[in-house]
Amino acid sequence: MPPRQSPPPASPPRRSCRSRRGTGLRARLVGAWLAAVLPVQGLALPAPEAPGAVPAALTSSGGAPAPAPQASVQPALRAQEVEQLWLSSRARPEEAAAALEQALADHRAANPAQELDLLHLLGISRWRADHAAGTEDVAVQLEQWALRHPALAVRARASAQCLRASLLYHTGPLARADAWLEEALGLLKADPGSDTLLFCLMRQASVKEGRLQFDQAVALYQRALRLLAQGPAWRQAGVQSSLAYTLLRAGETATARQALDEARRLAEQAGDPMVLSEVESIDSMLWSLEGDKGRALAALQAALSLARRAGAERDVALGLANLSDHFLQERDFRQALRLAEEAEQLAQRHQDLATLELAQTNRGLALIGLRQTQEGLRLLHGVLARQQAAQELTSVAETLLEMGQALENAGEWRLALEAYEQERLIAIRATQQLQQRQILELQAAAEADTRRQERALLERDIQLKEEAARNQTLRARQWALSGTVVLLVLVVVTLAYLRLRRKRQQLMRHTQDLRALSETDALTGLHNRRMLLRRLAAEPVADGGLYLLDLDHFKAINDRHGHAAGDAVLVEAAHRIRSVLRQDDTIVRWGGEEFLVWVAEVQPPRDEQLAQRLVDVLAERPVMHDGQAIRVTASVGHAVFPLGVDALDLAWPAALDLVDHLMYLAKHRGRHRAVGIRHARVCGPVELRSCLDDPEQAAARGLVELAEYAGQADAATPAGEGVR
C-alpha cells in the first residue's frame, strides 16, 4: 500500500514545525520574538553580560525572589537589569516571572511607563510558562492599571487584549484571537510608535499563520521589521527567524533560506544562543526538504547544543523531541524512543504541554515501529483525545495521518485504514471554513466544462451534417444509417446536458445548505455573528435598536458546574431572550456568552422597556441542570440609532462598539443591569466614546443622558451559585 500524502497546503516534513497551535518549534519562535520585539520604551538597552540570567539585584541566593524592602519605593530599574529580565523571560520564564513580581513590588511607583512594560513582560513570562490563569490575572491587572493611569490607558488595554489573544493561540478559536488582535491594533492607532503596537503585530502574524493565511502573516512580519530597522540585532534576528519559518510553511523555501541567512547573521552579530538555536532548528527543516539528512541532523544537534548553552530546558526538551523525530524518519526506532522519553521527562518537569504532546506522539510512533502496537496506540489515543478536546482539528488530522503511516509500515493494515479514514473525516471538518470558496470555484469550473462539452457536441453535430450533405447520392439505407447516428448523438447530448444540469442544481443546493450552516450557531440554534455582519454590510448607517447582552460570571458557572452546565445555560438564555422578542426581531449569538439583539423598528420608551424585560427574563428563575439550580444574570448595553436628539448617524462598526462599551459600563456599575443612551448631543463617534469614558461628567455637561435599569436584588446572587 503506498504511503498517504498530507492534504495541501503542504507543510515541511517535521512535526515540530506543523501548524499545530502551540506545538514544538512554533511555540519557541513565538517566545523568541516576544522578547525580541519589545524593548522598554525610553531605555537604551546595552548588550547583556550573560544571556538569559535573572538580574542578581532582583534575586537572592539560589535564584529565589529577594525579600521586599522595608523602606519606601526604590528608584526605577537600570537599563541593564531590564534587559536581563527580557532575556531571561525566553530561557527561564518561571524564574523571570518571580523576578518581575519582586521588581514590580520594589519599583511600582518609580516610573509608570516602566511599570507598564514590566507588568506586560510578567504576562508574557507566565504565558511562556504555560500558566494560563497567571496570564489572565496579569491581563486583569493591566485593565485596572489603565483606570489609574489615563495617559497610558489605551496601551494598557491593548496589552491586556493581546495577552488574552495569546492564550487563545493555544486554546482557540484562532478566528476570535484574530478579531481581538484587530481590535487591539485599532486602539493603538493613536499610539503608532509604541512597543505594544509591535507586540500586537507579531502576535497577529502568528495567528494568521495558524489560520494558514501565510501572505498576510508575511506582510505583518515585514511591517514589524520596518519598525525594528534601527533596533538591536538580536531583536531583528528573532523576527527574521519567525519570518523564515512562515515562508517555509508557505512552501517558499528559497525565500525562507534568504530570511534564515539574515537571521543567522544578526544572531551571530549579537551572540544570542537562543535565536541561533531557533535558526538551526529551521535550518534542519530546510535541509530535510532538500533531502540532505546529514546536514539536517547536524543542524538539529547544533540547535540542541545552543539551547543547553542558553540554559533553556524547555528548548532542550524540544530539541530532543526534534532529534527523536529525525530518527523516526530514519526508522531508528530505539534511538527515537530513548530521545522521546528524555524529552517527555523534561517537558513534564516544566509542564510544557506543547513539547510533551510532541514527545508523546514520537514515543507512540516509535513503539509502533518496535511492534509494541498496543502501547503505542494507547499513547497516541491520549494525544488525540487532548487535541480533540482543544478543537485542534488540524493537529488531530496530522497525528492520525502519522499514526496511519506508522501502522501501515508495521503491517497493521486494518488499523492503518481506520486511522486514514478518521484522518479523512477530520480533514474535511478542518477545511469547512474554506468550503464556500471551493464550491464557488467548483461551480465555475463545472459551468465552464458544460460550455466546453456543449460546444464540442455542437461541432460534432455540424460535422455529421456536413458529411451527410457530401453523401446525398448514397442509398436510402445509408441515409437511414446517418439519421440513426445523428439521433444517437442528440440523445447523448441531451443526456449529458440533463446530467450536468442536475449536478449544477445539486451544487447550488449544497452551497445554500453550507451557507445556512456557516451562519447558524450549533449550540443554541441562533444565527451567528457572520450572518448579522453579512446583513449589515448592505446598510452603511446603523438604524434601529441594538442590545448587547453578556451573561454575568459565566466563567464561574463553567468552573463550578462544568462546561455541560455552561452549555445548558447558553441554550436556556437564548430561549428566554427569544421569548420576549417579536417574530421579525433578530437575535444572534455574538460570541462566547454574548448575545446581540437587533430590533429594526423601536422608539422610546419601548427600547428601555425591552432592555428591562431582557434583564428580568434572564434572572426570573434559575436554570436547572443535573438537579442544581444555577442563577443567571446579564449585563446589557443598548442604544437606538440614529442616536439622540441630533439624530447622529453612526456606521455599524461604531454602533456595535458603542453598545459594547455600554455593556461594559453596566458591568462596572455592578452587573445585572442595563445601561443605554437616552440622549446625546455630540459631534461624532469619537466625542461620544470620550463622553462614555466619564459618563458622570458628560451628563453634568449635558452631553449625554444615560438610561440605567438595575435588576431586582434577589437575582443578584453571583452567577454560578447553585443549590441542591
Mean pLDDT of 128-144: 85
φ, ψ of residue 487 in degrees (nearest 5): -60, -45
Tens digits of per-residue pLDDT, 386-414? 888 877 777 888 899 999 888 888 888 99
Per-residue confidence (pLDDT) for residue 662, from 0 to 100:
92
Neighbour count for residue 652 (Cβ, 10 Å):
19
527-723: what CATH class? alpha beta
611 SS3 class: helix
Cα separation, 215 vs 197, in Å, equals: 20
pLDDT band at 512 (very low <50, low <70, confident <90, very high): low
pLDDT exceeds cutoff 80 at 342: yes
Q: What is the pLDDT of residue 110?
A: 62
Give the per-residue pLDDT at 59: 42
* 352-356, 480-484, 665-669, range with greatest mean pLDDT: 665-669
**Mean pLDDT over residues 353-363, rounded?**
89
Q: Which of 66-70, 346-350, 588-592 has the lowest mean pLDDT?
A: 66-70
Distance CA 180, CA 421 (A): 36
Q: Which residues contact 408 (CB under 8 A, 6 or more apart)?
A: 1, 3, 4, 416
| Residue 723, pLDDT score | 31
> Model pTM?
0.50
> What's the burial of 192, exposed, middle or buried (CB within 10 Å: 0-12/13-18/19+)?
exposed
Per-residue pLDDT tens over the stretch 272-290: 788 888 888 888 888 888 8
User: 349: which 3 cell numbers?
Assistant: 518537569
pLDDT digits (tens, 9 = 90+) for 418-442: 888 888 888 888 776 445 544 644 5
Q: Is the pLDDT of residue 32 over 60?
A: no
Say if residues 678 and 707 touch (Cβ distance below 8 Å): yes
**In degrees to the nearest 10, what's the CA dihedral of 370, 374, 378, 381?**
90
How do beta strands 623-625 and 628-630 pair?
A: antiparallel
What is the predicted pLDDT for the residue at 516?
66
Q: DSSP state, 550?
A: E
Q: φ, ψ for residue 443 (rounded to 5)?
A: -65, -45
What's the pLDDT at 71?
42
Residue 36 clears pLDDT 60, i.e. is over it: no
Spatial strand order in the sheet of 527-528: 527-528, 586-591, 594-599, 544-551, 634-641, 673-680, 704-710
Phi, psi of 467 (to 5 degrees): -65, -40
**Model pLDDT for residues 521-545, shown as the tens digit of each residue:** 989 999 999 888 888 888 888 889 9
Stretch 209-219: mean pLDDT: 88
Q: Give pLDDT tens digits for 42-65.
A: 333 333 344 444 444 444 333 334
Owner of C-alpha cell 479523512: 424
Pick left, alpha or beta for residue 670 (phi over 0 → left; psi -120 to 50 → alpha; otherwise beta): left
Domain boundaries, the chain: 433-518, 527-723
226-230, 368-372, 473-477: which is most confident: 368-372
Q: Give the model's confidence band at 109: pLDDT under 50 very low, under 70 low, under 90 confident, else very high.
A: low
Confidence of residue 676 (pLDDT cuts 50, 70, 90): very high
Are 116 and 40 in contact, with CB atoms under 8 Å apart? no
Report which of residues 43 and 682 the model is more confident about.
Answer: 682
Contact present, 205 and 241 (Cβ < 8 Å): no
Give the pLDDT of residue 295: 87
pLDDT of residue 297: 87
Going through 319-473 in order, the beta strands assigned E by DSSP cover none
Q: Which position has the grid cell 427569544?
A: 578
Helix H or strand E encompassing 123: helix 112-128
Q: For residues 358 and 490, which has the higher predicted lDDT (pLDDT)?
A: 358
Position 69 scores a pLDDT of 43
- Residue 450 makes CB contacts below 8 A (sequence gap 6+) with 497, 500, 504
The x, y and z cell numbers of residue 549, run together, are: 447582552
Q: What pLDDT was estimated at residue 609?
A: 92
How do residues 160-200 score in pLDDT, each as one tens digit?
888 888 888 776 678 888 888 898 888 887 666 667 888 88
pLDDT, mean of residues 678-696? 77
Distance CA(676)–CA(661), nearest Å, equals: 10
Of the chain, the percentage scoring pLDDT greater than 70 comes to: 80
83 pLDDT tier (thresholds 50, 70, 90):
low
Rg of the chain taking only CA atoms, in angstroms? 31
The answer, yes or no, to whether residue 705 has pLDDT greater than 70, is: yes
CB atoms within 10 A of CB 225: 17
The larger pLDDT score, comparing residue 372 to residue 470, is at 372
What share of the chain has pLDDT > 90, as a percent? 19
pLDDT band at 80; cut points 50, 70, 90 = low
